[in-house]
Structure 1
């Protein structure tokens, strides 16, 4: 029986006499490349000179050369993920994701943090499918309906908003109106999709979410440890009741001029009962009183850091801080007052474990409120005062209550405080060993007394730059400039 003719590049099946023709140089080169190419093993177990990612070359086309082999095809997904994970540059991950579909999927698994801009990207499920290992998600930019091509960006430490040119014509006095925010029902649905697709969430930033959305998040994401909430009311906080592992919470009730919502004693009490493991709490623009802060102190016994920003608390709330028995750090930021009616000193109590007190950009003109705060915090070791308005010598004298505990003092931007006011207080502190004075223009080098100079000599750490002239004199030390009978420096 005659055998059928072979399909070989050097065999001409159209020949009537089955004669072998002399191969061309191109055909010979192609044949040699096919012979020298390493054979790969496919998933089915069969051997083939072609990789799975490439189509077989057409033997009828002598000018077609085989594509180069994909060396990474031999690596498992786990091994390739380890290799790609060594790359620290996030821009390089974007470039790597464009190589092929496999690399796109693997690079998506390496993304841990994202700030969402397009809400549809979340609702369609593409975000959780594309980035299944997300740990830190910020949904606030996508929750606000704003023009993406707007050249106006409102930004502070709390929120970033793209604004249109006619934003001030709304008559509400707010940059983010109620109609500019995605409805709570839609946000709850998006949060549910996020929770089901990204169960490894550790931190999330949400806006206008309700109890239903927070319940779903608490149920699906058991590893959630940090949460930031914007524009949420009191009863929405019932949704975080099941967030048993929540340790850090930032609650933004009202941001002046941006948006307005109400968080009162009701919300603070719900929060306290549901988040007993809180370690760090920040309250921004929250209303409340003695009862709400007391509930937090009694229920959140692990609380170590408390920040009060632009509060709207009723008078007498300050004495409730004594219930925060394990509090170690207390901060006030941008507060218009401390406490309008703190009451008698003997009823204030004290935070026994408190070590640090920070006041930044606060109004300190009310001597009674400042004094009450210092009494509650009389066991602190570190005091920081930055850009506090109204802090003069008479109010700063209330700090003598720290005479036996404080070890560090930092003053910055306190322009009303004088050298005499500083000296009268720091000389009474027996344990002071660190002092920092920056940009306090009424504190002068020429007014330093012998007692204050002696204190400076025994300090472990001293930074003395009260004004620009002091910085200049320090930089010219040893040059002889400014001394009598020597060279002089003339200002124009």
Structure 2
């Protein structure tokens, strides 16, 4: 009833807080709740559990202000890589002032979208400072130990802490935090210069720690990892170590001895030898995920993984130089639950390895082969015959895999949902057509620089794969309008289309997509010389939900086509149109003024007039060509 506040008069605080839990994670909804009234603002603040903070130049002070309002935080993320401007509205300056006052007390978190940045204006342009610039100003600094002390005092029940590239954080702050936040379960420290003393304190006080991620933590050595292993060995389930040059086999031996519950282990190191990984394999028999990029580890370690780690579900091996077929034969013989396998950059594994994985791991769902030059058609044929539940297949730079391999996949893997092919020079239309015939559940098809693939293969997807939603055919010279006509007639659920570099694609194919795919939200037709205004006009009429369009290096698109596009595509958020010689400053002004939802326009600097820059500076990304 108008004029009566039935919700506030009828519902108690507990009921309102319970309702607000259901919108936890939707920043716009949470913000809307906080703006209803003072009571809702107070309750919403009390029910908020997560906060994320970007680089501000005053991160410690900003966090202190946030903690005064949000008193029940469980998750905090500080990412010093993030710089997102708060735009100034030149059209409605009073609205900007009002928004600034409303935003100041509760600048967003993970479910709240907190991103703070500093900005200044010079000569009518927005100039954004980096963290390094801000650190040189008086009173400005990155997130530091002071911020960790604020967290220790304001969030005693903190469970998840993520610190990304917080270079001012040291062991001193981590010790203070560990002493106060003993319920900590997840600690992610990427690019932080903490040392062993900080990690030893975490191991001493945070006995519930389950996940620890150390990436580019150059100050961490064996003592810190040993302290974590001894203190949190019974609870630690996930450990990631990457580019920590002071960590040696001694640390991994401690992990293998104490962390018997470890389930996920990631290691990227040039210093670790076979003994370190061997200790993990022998002591952590419950491993479910193993990701290794270790050039000095040999077959012996993976052979033990195959014998001991029967619960392994995910295996990823990158840039391995000493692993051979013996390793993967052992994995295939022992890890029967394996579902995801990634093999990248190896000259020492062959079809024998892939056949062992396929025959020994019938539950395999995701397979990625990247730059393994001795794996050929026979190995992929074994996958097609044995892995009936395969859902995603990625083949990159696999020159020896021919059509027969994918033909077998098409016959045997009817549940395939995604196929990615990059620089597979021996794969052509025969393989692609058989995939379409046998895998009618396909949702995503990405093909890049496979020069034997043409219209004949892709046409079959329009006939047989009605559920296709994501299609990318980048730089495939034989793809033309016939392929897009078939896709437009058969794949009505298509949402993302990328035909960048397909020179035979023109207005006819694009018009067919516009008529048959009304749900399209992303389109990339860059470097398509035959796409012009007719295609854009059809796109504007047939795809009103379009959010992102990339038109760069298109010589036939003019201001007229842009005008036709923005007339109906009112939800457009991003437009890239560099190196389009027929687009003038008039077209740039047209698209900026015609779409209120625009967030980014990428265009040459000289095509932006002073008036357009004044009105739309916050959405313009200028490509400077006069250097």
Match status 1:331 vs 2:420: yes
Q: Secondary structure at the match of 1:193?
A: helix
SS in 2 for 1:138: strand
Task: From the superposition, tell whether residues 129 and 354 of structure 1 become closer, same or farther in structure 2 (CA, over 3 Å).
Answer: same
C-alpha separation between the residues in 1 aligned to 2:429 and 2:519? 34
Corresponding residue number in structure 2 for 1:477: 594
Which residue number corresponds to residue 242 of structure 1? 334
- Measured in 2, the distance between the counterparts of 1:433 and 1:400 equals 16
Asked if the contact 1:192/1:216 (under 8 Å) is kept, the reply is yes
Q: CA RMSD in A?
A: 4.2
Residues 310 and 335 in structure 2, CA contact (< 8 A), matched pair in contact too: yes
SS of aligned partner of 1:83: coil
1:443 and 1:409 map into 2 onto residues whose CA distance is 22
Question: Which residue, out of 291, 298, 302, partners 1:205?
Answer: 291
Higher helix share: 2
- Contact 2:316–2:341, Cα closer than 8 Å, also in 1: yes
Larger Rg: 1
CA contact (8 A) 2:310 2:334 kept: no
Q: State whether residues 418 and 443 of structure 2, in contact with CA within 8 Å, keep that contact through their aligned partners in structure 1.
A: yes
Relative to structure 1, is the Cα distance of residues 445 and 488 closer, same or farther in structure 2, using a 3 angstrom cutoff? farther
Query: Aligned in 2, Cα 1:398/1:416: closer, same or farther, shift over 3 Å?
Result: closer
Which TM-score applies when normalising by structure 2? 0.47
**2:419 corresponds to 1:291:** no
2:341 aligns to what SS in structure 1? strand
More displaced stretch, 264-273 vs 403-412? 403-412
Alpha-carbon offset, residue 123 of structure 1: 7.8
Following superposition, the deviation at residue 96 of structure 1 comes to 5.4
Matched with 2:52 is: none
Q: Give the structure-1-normalised TM-score.
A: 0.58
Matched, 1:423 2:510: yes
CA 1:96–1:373: 2 relative to 1, 3 Å: same
Moved more, 278-287 or 85-94: 85-94
Residue of structure 2 aligned with 1:342, choices 430, 439, 442: 430
Q: Secondary structure of 2:317's partner?
A: strand
1:118–1:142 CA contact under 8 A, matched in 2:
no
1:410 corresponding residue in structure 2 = 496
Give the match for residue 403 of structure 2.
316
Which residue of 197, 209, 216 maps to 2:304?
216
User: For the residues of structure 2 that align with 1:143 and 1:436, how far apart are their CA atoms?
Assistant: 44
Instruction: Report if aligned partners of 1:404, 1:431 keep a CA contact under 8 Å in 2.
Output: no
Q: Size of the alignment, in residue pairs? A: 350
Asked if the contact 1:115/1:139 (under 8 Å) is kept, the reply is yes
Q: 1:121 corresponds to which residue?
A: 249
Q: Distance in 1 between matches of 2:370 and 2:484?
A: 26
Unmatched runs of 5 consecutive residues or more in structure 2 = 1-178, 206-226, 553-576, 578-582, 597-609, 614-621
Given the superposition, is the C-alpha separation of residues 128 and 473 from structure 1 closer, same or farther in structure 2, using an over 3 Å criterion?
Answer: farther
Q: 1:85 aligns with which of 160, 172, 184?
A: 184
SS of equivalent to 2:378: helix
Q: Which of 238-247 and 212-221 deviates more?
A: 212-221
Q: Match for 2:353 among 248, 267, 274? A: 267
> 2:460 — aligned with what?
375
Map 1:28-427 onto structure 2 (within 5 A): 83-86=182-185, 88=187, 90=189, 97-99=199-201, 102-103=204-205, 104=227, 105-107=230-232, 109-110=235-236, 112-115=238-241, 117=245, 120-122=248-250, 125-129=253-257, 133-142=261-270, 187=274, 189-206=275-292, 207=294, 212-230=300-318, 231=320, 232-240=323-331, 241-252=333-344, 255=345, 260-286=346-372, 287-317=374-404, 318-322=406-410, 323-332=412-421, 334-337=422-425, 339=427, 342=430, 349-359=437-447, 362-368=448-454, 371-372=456-457, 375=460, 378-379=464-465, 380-385=467-472, 388-391=474-477, 395-402=480-487, 403-412=489-498, 414-417=500-503, 419-426=506-513
Conserved? CA contact 1:234–1:266, under 8 Å: yes
